[in-house]
Amino acid sequence: MATIGRRTGAVGTALVLALTIGGSALAGIGIDRSSDEQALAPTRAPASATIEQKVDKLLSQMTTQEKLQQVQLLSDGQITDADAKAGVGSVFSLVDPEQINHFQHIAVEQSRLHIPILFAYDTIHGYRTIFPVPLGAASSFDPEVAQADAAVGARESATEGLKQVYSPMVDVSHEPRWGRIVEGAGEDPYLGSVMAAARVKGAQGTDYSAPDKVVSSVKHYVAYGEPEGGRDYNTTDMSESRLRNFYLPPFKAAIDAGADTVMCSFNAINGVPGCANKYTETDILKKEWRFDGFVESDYTAVAELRACPPVEPDSGPCGHGVAADGPEAGAAALMAGTDSEMVSTNIRDYGQQLLADHQITMSRLDDAVRRILRVKFRAGLFDHPYVDVTTASDPASYGRPEDLAKSRWAASRSMVLLKNDGQPLPLDPSKSTALIGPLGATVDEMLGPWSGRGTDPLAPKFVTLFDGLKAASSAPVTYTAACNLAHNFDPPNNANPPITPDEEVCAGPGDDGTTIQDAVTAADNADQVVLALGESAFMSGEANSRSQLDLPGHQEELLDAVAATGKPVVVVLFNGHPLDLTAVQDKAAAILEAWFPGTEGGNAVADVLYGKVDPGGKLPVSMPRGVGTVPYYYNHEPTGRPCDATFKWNSRYRDQSTCQPLYPFGYGLSYTSFDVSNLKLSRSSVGRNGTVTVTMDVKNTGERAGDDVVQMYIHDPVASISQPVRRLRGFQRVSLESGESTTVTFTLDKSDFGFYDNRGKFVVEPGTIEVYGGDSSAAAMERSFTVTR
């Protein structure tokens, strides 16, 4: 897993783009199939001598105060004309193109050195054309989904004058309670690395000075996804080997793909906050990986380095206690490697004093400014600082037909079929359908959290599930909400008191005045029944961790009542957390995990439900059996007493009859069937610098075309440090006609069978390596080879 910036196995086969969806062909939308070898291939360009000369010349002309202004990153609510004239470095969340031009004109024309401002935004899974949430996109096991998302989001963001996006979020997480798990690629570092690289390449292209490209900021550096108790912002503690083997690889892949900015995290790791961590920011990122871009802090993360006073703080955020006050916080962040301070202003305000007191050095300040200027030159801001307001205000600039087709394609490709007992799916479009549940006709639950500007007037029309089903069916489709979806918006003072599940989702009559009894009547009167269940979009994302993972509110009561009619119930889930679906599994005939699918989500779900698209996605996270079993993840260490539910003295839960999750990582069904067989290795032994070729055959043994994801895992059974029971090291999504077969090929090298030890050293040890093949992390085929000295 060491040098992630390379290859290992194809991740995709040729997609038949002429697939007709809802009467509109996808041919020509520009999706270019790729492999994980291509996705992980390093594309970082060498430094430009011309740009370096420009940076050095400009830096030599700057006063100390001008340098301190460059390292300041302000919000849209903070920026003033005076800041722009003084030479402030960056601004985020300002999205009015006229205001962007206003401040940019002041910076370029009225500041002494005419340095443009870098404008940024949280374009996470779309700007106005919204794609599936990143956890959903990871379910596609297809980097082209992530790349298409990032490319469309970059173009729409750049059209409005934004030149940096705070994306991708590449935090690996084993914590389904953590709200921000929805923003990443799940629990696996290899899948996360492939998706991270794809998103950077989609957003930046080969040259992010292009008018439709932006510079990516990779976040949150590092190990933010493993907070204690799953609570956002909470502390993280882990070994060196775990840090390097699980959490750093996706960041390395993003850097190798060309990402030029990185956001340090809120959390402390082993007691050291991310934005004051010299080891991670300077020693690893800048020195070991030779990253020459800049690091910005997260929102007020520098101020949060301070200790809180005994009484209620009156001077802003605080908490970590590694600095006594603002000056110490600014010094700690800058000297650790943070180059740009977001919202709080400790480096800018106290910089002169800190220099005089030798708490920071001019060489380090110069390094920070040099990195910021380098990115601005690479972004082409000095040549093209202004936004075309006419184009930015034109509705035709957003939601273009080809982009909506990509969004729909990405959403349908990201869905995971978890159950289909008796094959109630696909639905028959000639039969009447009752759509029931609080998520059947809502907007935000299609778009999900961090949905950019997907609901403003310039955004394309979003499609609810009710809209999609009606458009796809030739028979009547009825909708019964049955209960109300109540969003928990923050009150004005941000007090946000604790809420009960009943207050959040499915309480009281629905928005249409209907009740659970009305839902039962609707189910009785229809040929087919679909329940749209899950979470409010505001139950996941930042600051939205959950202590329970079941369906909130009265949704299980609704499921019970509808299932009691005897009709096979198809449950469609819209959610951002991996949920405990034990109760749903017992009562639903079919379960389709749709996550939050985006602008075209309703159409995409209908495409899958009615069988126009085969559900070929796989789970990027394990689905737990009860919240008490988390964190569970497939790539865990074996322990001295591996779990055996039939024997007491093992690592098990007394009240669980199995050691397995409800649905494992890599799991997903199809409307057809597949046989993965004939696992072969090219050799039985290999030197530490050699390679092994792995092949498997996959055949569509069913009666219709469909997709499967062939997956390769390895295990090192004897090592100096206990190794995970399995590690994903290659995958390929294949599309096959009925009866069709193909052979997939992967390549293993030392970056796969080696690992980092607790000294931070990458080691390749002699011994046996087991290779597993199949179409989930429970793959049963096994072969082995020996690594020799």
Short-list 422, 406, 455, 474, CA closest to 147:
406
φ and ψ at 734, to 5 degrees?
Answer: -120, 145
Phi-psi bin for 449: left (phi > 0), alpha (psi -120 to 50), beta? beta
Helix (H, G, I), strand (E, B) or coil at 593: strand
- Where are the strands (E) in 657-766, listed by range? 674-681, 685-686, 692-700, 706-715, 727-736, 741-748, 755-756, 762-763
The pLDDT, as a whole number, for residue 36 is: 66
Short-list 253, 249, 204, 241, CA closest to 222:
249
| Alpha carbon distance 523, 558 (integer Å) | 11
The pLDDT, as a whole number, for residue 443 is: 83
The pLDDT, as a whole number, for residue 397 is: 98
| Torsion on CA atoms 512, 514, 516, 520, rounded to nearest 10 | -110
Tokens 């000295």 correspond to what residue? 789
Short-list 535, 624, 515, 634, CA closest to 189:
634
Q: What is the CA 7 to chain-centroid distance, rounded?
A: 21
| Helix boundaries (H) for 381-431 | 389-392, 401-413
Q: What is the CA 197 to chain-centroid distance, rounded?
A: 12
The pLDDT, as a whole number, for residue 9 is: 34
The pLDDT, as a whole number, for residue 553 is: 86
The residues annotated as belonging to the active site are 298
The pLDDT, as a whole number, for residue 312 is: 59
| Bridging pattern class, strands 674-681 and 692-700 | antiparallel
| Bridging pattern class, strands 762-763 and 755-756 | antiparallel
* The two structure tokens encoding residue 403: 């982009």
| Alpha carbon distance 569, 203 (integer Å) | 40
Helix (H, G, I), strand (E, B) or coil at 160: coil
The pLDDT, as a whole number, for residue 487 is: 52
CA distance from start to end of the chain: 19
| Alpha carbon distance 759, 239 (integer Å) | 10
| Helix boundaries (H) for 527-632 | 555-563, 582-587, 601-609
Tokens 């409800």 correspond to what residue? 662
Q: Is 96 exposed, middle or buried (0-12, 13-18, 19+ CB in 10 A)?
A: middle
Tell me how long the chain is: 789
Q: Is 762 exposed, middle or buried (0-12, 13-18, 19+ CB in 10 A)?
A: middle
Q: For the whole model, what pTM was predicted?
A: 0.94
* The two structure tokens encoding residue 362: 């001019």
The pLDDT, as a whole number, for residue 300 is: 97
φ and ψ at 699, to 5 degrees?
Answer: -130, 135
Low-confidence ranges of the chain (pLDDT < 50): 1-34, 488-492, 501-502
